[in-house]
Amino acid sequence: MTHSHRSSAEVLAASSDAEWYELKQDNLIYITLNNGRLVVMELNDTFAPQHADQIRRLAKAAYWDGVPVYRVQDNYVVQFGALDYATDTLMKPLPPDAVKLPAEFTIPAHSLQMMALEDVDAHADRVGFVNGYPAGIKGDQAFLVHCYGMVGAARDDAPDSSNATELYVMIGQPARHIDRQISVVGRVVHGIEQLSSLPRGTGAMGFFEAGGHPLDIQSIRLGSDLPKSAQLRFRALDTNSQSFVQFVNARRHMQGGWFAAPVSGRLGVCDVRQTIQVIEG
């Protein structure tokens, strides 16, 4: 079997505009930190629709304004929200339109279109990409995978104990042991370096001691609620496109130039990320 020697950058440069799509502002959550920095998260309505809707409700209610970033665990997660861990109670009540959420760990796999990788995976029968997201299939159920930049809704012991107020962002190596254990609600598409570069928590599991957290959330807003002047536009390479297939192959068969030896030709689902670009102008 022969493979193209084009680099992933060359594949992207040769892609057609028709292979890209614009992210919808109604799915984008703009997280402004109180140091003025911006993080943008995309919600996933396919795998966690009820959590996504709850997050939209909380954003519209300005629920997270002023809450702390209370956990930064090295090689794992950044977490924020309104939960007071000392008392296990919320520091502010949920808005009236908040609802009880089910566990949204998996969905039926039969109706999904997955760009599947050929590689064997230790945690799933198959892995690949569903609408840009790294995903796995085990049996007849599909789930999102805990790669770098993925966002989940923290919970207590009960599977349905998440209310979507406590969100974590993956800032380390893939945490595949928590796949299918937590509702994964989306991913960071812009500004993750604003979170991954934060000082690490000094307490157990990266939690900060009382009053020691590095910064607070200034505001969290839904993109469609912002004026156009405050919106960022993004485009993403369709993971069902021919260019994405070529992009994956380019990453799988890197050779020449700097490489002194052939790479393995194998990929994990977290070794490749959908390309997302800011649309300028």
| Per-residue pLDDT tens digits for 114-169 | 999 999 999 999 999 999 999 999 999 999 999 999 999 999 999 999 999 999 99
Look at residue 3 and tell me if it is in a domain: no
Q: 85 falls in which pLDDT band (50, 70, 90)?
A: confident
* Helix or strand run (H / E) with residue 244: helix 242-252
Number of domains in the chain: 1
State how beta strands 69-72 and 150-153 pair.
Answer: unpaired
Is the per-residue pLDDT at 5 higher than 80?
A: no
Look at residue 240 and tell me if it is in a domain: yes
* Closest to 54 in 3D by CA, of 175, 166, 147, 211: 166
* Helix or strand run (H / E) with residue 138: strand 133-138
Range of the domain at 17: 8-279
CA distance 15 to 243: 6
Q: Which residues make beta-bridge pairs with 116?
A: 128
Look at residue 2 and tell me if it is in a domain: no
CATH code, 139: 2.40.100.10
The tokens for 86 are 């000392």
pTM: 0.96
* Helix or strand run (H / E) with residue 92: none
Q: Which residues make beta-bridge pairs with 31?
A: 39, 220
Look at residue 103 and tell me if it is in a domain: yes
- Phi/psi region, residue 56 (left: phi>0; alpha: psi -120 to 50; beta: rest), is alpha
Look at residue 241 and tell me if it is in a domain: yes
Query: What is the average per-residue pLDDT within 225-247?
Result: 98
Look at residue 15 and tell me if it is in a domain: yes
| Per-residue pLDDT tens digits for 193-233 | 999 999 999 999 999 988 788 899 999 999 999 999 999 99
Contact 8, 226 (CB under 8 A): no
Look at residue 200 and tell me if it is in a domain: yes
Q: What is the pLDDT of residue 212?
A: 85
| Per-residue pLDDT tens digits for 164-195 | 999 999 999 999 999 999 999 999 999 999 99
Question: Would you list the DSSP string of 38-60?
Answer: EEEEEE-TTT-HHHHHHHHHHHH
Contact 51, 89 (CB under 8 A): no
Look at residue 270 and tell me if it is in a domain: yes
